[in-house]
Amino acid sequence: MLDQGRYRNVLFNLDQCGHSHVQRQTLLDIMRSYHSVEIFYTFAIEALVSFLQKSDPVQLAAQLRPFDIDAANLGTLNGAMSKSNWLGAAERLVFETFRTCAPFVSPFSINNPTGGDIG
């Protein structure tokens, strides 16, 4: 539908309710398809880190593959997983990967100390 119009500015809201439905390649395709594009991208880093197979390097690499995270960077993530700052290390790794998708990236994180509890 967007391909048929001549839109100067395009805005995408990718709210995937998790971390696994939008791959890095999709972000790259969107950024390359339009002259002026902005993406609001929801990425649940805590969900990703909660289900990572930390003790199985092959499975861990497979889980991170959709984000094109280099295997050389996994050592940074693995070393921090046992420390209190594991979430911050994971956020930095994922945000650095997404920085390669666009010339300007403004990541932010919301810390909900009660987890998924809403009320």
Q: Could you state, in order of their start, the residue ranges of all structural domains in the chain?
A: 2-99
Contact between 19 and 47 (Cβ < 8 Å): yes
Structure letter (DSSP) for residue 115: T
Q: According to the model, what pLDDT value does residue 11 have?
A: 92
Q: According to the model, what pLDDT value does residue 12 have?
A: 92
Q: According to the model, what pLDDT value does residue 20 have?
A: 75
From residue 84, how far is each of 27, 90, 96, 119 by CA, in Å?
Answer: 31, 12, 20, 26
Q: According to the model, what pLDDT value does residue 77 have?
A: 58
Q: How far apart are CA 63 and CA 77, in angstroms?
A: 13
Q: pLDDT 10s per residue in the chain (119 long)?
A: 667 777 888 999 988 777 777 888 888 999 998 889 999 988 877 777 777 777 777 887 787 777 777 656 666 655 555 545 667 777 777 788 888 888 888 877 776 666 655 44
